[in-house]
């Protein structure tokens, strides 16, 4: 199985701050990486696929980068509505695997 290691586990940030979340795969995943946003009691929502391509309708304050095994999600200016748990997910293998999540809270 491909293991996804995500950090940090949680963040407490101020409105307007820049947020960076990292994800490392245990082997190369050919950039088949998705970033998901999940708000409490809601289903996950795909923000970015193929490591850096924004899903339609997702604000440009979200961006993804990286290749090979190391990937990053950046939120350029955090707003209250961005408070959520963010997961990385690989889909290089039919057996999707997920990071453990990063809980982003507003100070």
Q: Closest separation between CB of residue 98 and another protein, Å?
A: 4
Site residues, another protein (CB under 8 A): 34, 36, 43-46, 49, 55, 87, 89, 91, 94-101
Q: What is the DSSP string of 4-38?
A: EEEE-SEEEE-TT--EEEEEEESS--TT-EEEEEE
Residue whose CB is less far from another protein, 16 or 41:
41
CA nearest to 25, candidates 67, 73, 85: 67
Residue whose CB is less far from another protein, 18 or 100:
100
Question: Facing residues of 49 across strands?
Answer: 53
Residue whose CB is less far from another protein, 34 or 78:
34
């Amino acid at each position: 199985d491909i293991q996804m290691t995500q950090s940090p586990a949680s963040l407490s940030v101020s409105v307007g701050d820049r947020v960076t979340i990292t994800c490392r795969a245990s082997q190369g995943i050919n950039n088949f990486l998705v970033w998901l946003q999940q708000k409490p009691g809601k289903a996950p929502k795909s923000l970015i696929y193929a490591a850096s391509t924004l899903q339609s309708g997702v604000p440009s304050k979200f961006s993804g980068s990286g290749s090979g095994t190391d990937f990053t999600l950046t939120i350029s200016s955090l707003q209250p509505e961005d408070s959520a748990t963010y997961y990385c997910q690989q889909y290089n293998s039919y057996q999707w695997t997920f990071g453990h999540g990063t809980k982003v809270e507003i100070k």
